[in-house]
């Protein structure tokens, strides 16, 4: 379960980085070039989008990387990443996979309380 959490967490972070790059770039482009009615309008909370575009993917990658050695901490970071992506970006065609991957990886990491190794986090 820890290996699955590691893999899913890193994949969620990489896909989340792509979503974050686009979201951050979109807010900057609309700020610089102005809004286009019906095509490009500024989001309501620019600072939230920009901060979650950076923080959520980093939490997913860090949580995935920690899943093997510290499964509980890694799982919490993965669940925080999923919650941050959901809160900032919502559910869409490009955000559904990083959110679900981070959520499943977080659950798997937390569920690995009794791993094959003698070191458990409970």
Confidence check: pLDDT of 121 > 90: no
pLDDT of residue 34: 87
Q: Are 75 and 110 in contact (CB under 8 A)?
A: yes
Q: Report which DSSP code applies to 34.
A: -
pLDDT tens per residue across span 55-77: 999 999 999 999 998 899 999 99
pLDDT of residue 88: 96
Tell me the whole-structure pTM to 2 decimals: 0.89
At which residue do the structure tokens 């482009």 appear?
29
């Amino acid at each position: 379960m820890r290996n699955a959490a590691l893999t899913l967490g890193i994949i969620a972070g990489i896909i989340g980085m792509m979503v974050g790059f686009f979201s951050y770039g979109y807010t900057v482009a609309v700020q610089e070039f102005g809004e286009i009615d019906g095509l490009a309008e500024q989001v309501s909370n620019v600072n939230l989008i920009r901060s979650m575009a950076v923080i959520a993917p980093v939490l997913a990658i860090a949580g995935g990387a920690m899943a093997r050695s510290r499964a509980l901490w890694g799982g919490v970071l993965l669940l925080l990443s999923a919650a941050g992506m959901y809160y900032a970006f919502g559910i869409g065609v490009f955000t559904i996979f990083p959110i679900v991957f981070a959520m499943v990886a977080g659950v798997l990491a937390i569920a690995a309380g009794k791993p094959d190794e003698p070191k458990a986090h409970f």
